[in-house]
Amino acid sequence: MFRFSKPLFVFALFSASTVALAVDKYDGVGRAATPAEVKAWDIDVRPDFKGLPKGSGSVDRGQELFEEKCASCHGSFGESNEVFTPLAGGTTKDDIKTGRVKGLSSGELPQRTTFTKVATISTVFDYIQRAMPWTAPKSLKPDDVYAILAYLLNLQEIVPGDFTLSDKNIADVQKLLPNRNGMTTDHGMWPGAPASKGGIGNGGKPDTANKACMKNCKPDVLIGSTLPEYARTAHGELRDQNRSFGAVRGTQTLGPEAAKKAADAGTLELATKSGCMACHGMKSKIVGPGYNEVVARYKDQPDAESRLVAKVKAGGQGVWGSIPMPPNGHIKDEDISTLVKWILSGSK
Amino acid sequence: MGNPMKIRAANKDGVTEVKVLVSHEMETGQRKDSAGAIVPAWFITELVAKHGDKVVLTSEFGPSVSKNPYLAFKFKGGAKGDKITVSWKDNKGDSRTDEAAIN
């Protein structure tokens, strides 16, 4: 309802000022934008300064505004690298003369900043006006934007501290921009005709060659390296770690035997971590009995597991000699159970 | 002589916050140029800030401080219009002093 009733209403109000362009083709759908709407949308400032609003702002005023609205993210001197890359810095007096920032090509620049890169001052004006402050875009009046831009230009040592930037002198500032000659248009990023024919771009030729092959290409694919045998199990069973859907399966790294070995290795680690291995050897007596001795004694006793779990937990003395085994209340019950099962099954 | 420092000082509720952007190469003496020769060390060794004639900050800089270092500190006192003076010395014997008024 909204789409169809509203245009009629607006047409009635603005019929004198509305230009009905090409709406005939979409009879009953939409309406031409009103000049006021176009004006509200059309805020861009172009390199030839088309769209630049009238106004002016001084460096001093810009400093106040910058401190109030910009410095929390950009730093008082536009130097901050915390939230965004720095705004100012990185250019020399020579760059202002040549119009090409030397640090960009010589590699001397530790960090690129806005002013080492930007080639048109209108872009900076446009961006501040359109997008800044981050939390309240389009809230700055043209005079504020001029002032902030003047402050930035002063930080960059392009204009002196008593400078006032305005729509009258912004074109002169453009001629001082450090990287003003840094923009190239002779590539496919630009849609127009080649520069020799007065356009911008290279006539729409892509920048990549897109040749199927260079030369001496190999006819067969040879696998250059594979996971060495000893490293295959380093991360357990890769097949189980892959996602369970889709075409690609992880390679099976463990056979059934290797899988048990890996699980045992995990238990040995658990035993070491739990402190068992300090007193018990796998195959020999250290302070307490070796696991092989434990297995030999408790063989053929069906309740061995539950008895041993209780013994490990509570500690004990006398079965294997006078040296006591300390209680192990700090180890989780399920871990003790795992360890006892592992010991009784041969702890391999 | 070095390039000028940028100094901002603002007083709020009896506390003055001073922000300084120093312009200095701060070469560590560890870097090598493309020919493999060591770039000689060149860094600020000492930086002093004064409020009027009173020293409010002394600091020892060294090779680990970045190029064009940024420094911010606060001190109690100061009034609008008072003069803040910041000066540094570097290991080549160069020095520079700049001043700004508190606002």
Fold entry, domain B6-101: Immunoglobulin-like (2.60.40)
Cβ contacts of A80 on chain B, cutoff 8 Å: 70
Judged by a CB distance cut-off of 8 A, whether residue B67 touches chain A is: yes
Cβ contacts of B8 on chain A, cutoff 8 Å: 63, 67, 76-77
- pLDDT of A3 higher than 70: no
A76/B68 Cβ within 8 A: no
Judged by a CB distance cut-off of 8 A, whether residue B70 touches chain A is: yes
Average pLDDT over residues A57-82: 86
Judged by a CB distance cut-off of 8 A, whether residue B10 touches chain A is: yes
The confidence band for A258, taking pLDDT boundaries of 50, 70 and 90, is: low
**Closest by Cβ to B21, choosing from A63, A79, A110:** A79
Query: Please, are residues A238 and A303 in contact by the beta-carbon 8 Å criterion?
Result: no
Query: Please, are residues B73 and B57 in contact by the beta-carbon 8 Å criterion?
Result: yes
Nearest CA in chain B to A154: B6
Nearest CA in chain A to B33: A108
* Residue B24: Cβ-neighbour burial (10 angstroms; 0-12, 13-18, 19+): buried
Judged by a CB distance cut-off of 8 A, whether residue A76 touches chain B is: yes
Beta bridge pairs of residue A11: none
- pLDDT of the residue at A148: 92
- Cα A275 to Cα A281, A313, A335: the distances in Å are 12, 13, 12
% helix, strand, coil for chain B, step of 5:
0, 55, 45
User: Tens digits of per-residue pLDDT, A100-136?
Assistant: 888 888 877 778 889 889 999 999 999 999 888 888 8
A79: distance to nearest CA of chain B, Å?
8
Average pLDDT over residues B29-40: 88
**Closest by Cβ to A76, choosing from B8, B67, B68:** B8
**Closest by Cβ to A75, choosing from B10, B67, B70:** B70
- pLDDT of the residue at A261: 67
User: Tens digits of per-residue pLDDT, B70-94?
Assistant: 899 999 988 888 999 999 999 998 9
- pLDDT of the residue at A36: 92
pTM for the full predicted model: 0.57
As a whole-number percent, the residues of chain A with pLDDT over 70 amount to 91
Q: Please calculate the CA angle B97-B102-B103 and round it to the nearest 5 degrees.
A: 140
User: Tens digits of per-residue pLDDT, A296-347?
Assistant: 888 888 888 888 888 888 887 778 877 778 788 788 888 888 888 888 887 7
Domain ranges, ordered by start, for chain B:
6-101
Side by side, which strands form the sheet with B6-12? B6-12, B15-21, B70-76
* Residue A66: Cβ-neighbour burial (10 angstroms; 0-12, 13-18, 19+): buried
**Closest by Cβ to A76, choosing from B19, B67, B68:** B19
Mutate to test the interface with A, among B16, B19, B34 (most CBs of A within 10 A): B19
Beta bridge pairs of residue B6: B21
Judged by a CB distance cut-off of 8 A, whether residue B21 touches chain A is: yes
Listed by number, the residues of chain A in 26-65 with a beta carbon closer than 8 Å to a beta carbon of chain B are 63
B68/A79 Cβ within 8 A: yes
User: Tens digits of per-residue pLDDT, A177-202?
Assistant: 898 888 888 888 887 887 778 778 88
Judged by a CB distance cut-off of 8 A, whether residue A81 touches chain B is: no
Q: What is the distance between the terminal CA atoms of chain A, rounded to a whole angstrom?
A: 77
Cβ contacts of A79 on chain B, cutoff 8 Å: 21, 68, 70
Tokens of A287: 């302070």
Report the C-alpha gap between A143 and A164 in whole angstroms: 11
Mean pLDDT score across all residues of chain A: 80
The confidence band for B6, taking pLDDT boundaries of 50, 70 and 90, is: confident
Beta bridge pairs of residue B48: B58, B87
Better pLDDT: A335 or A262: A335
User: Tens digits of per-residue pLDDT, A212-239?
Assistant: 777 777 788 888 887 777 787 788 777 7
**A21-25, A87-91, A194-198, range with greatest mean pLDDT:** A87-91
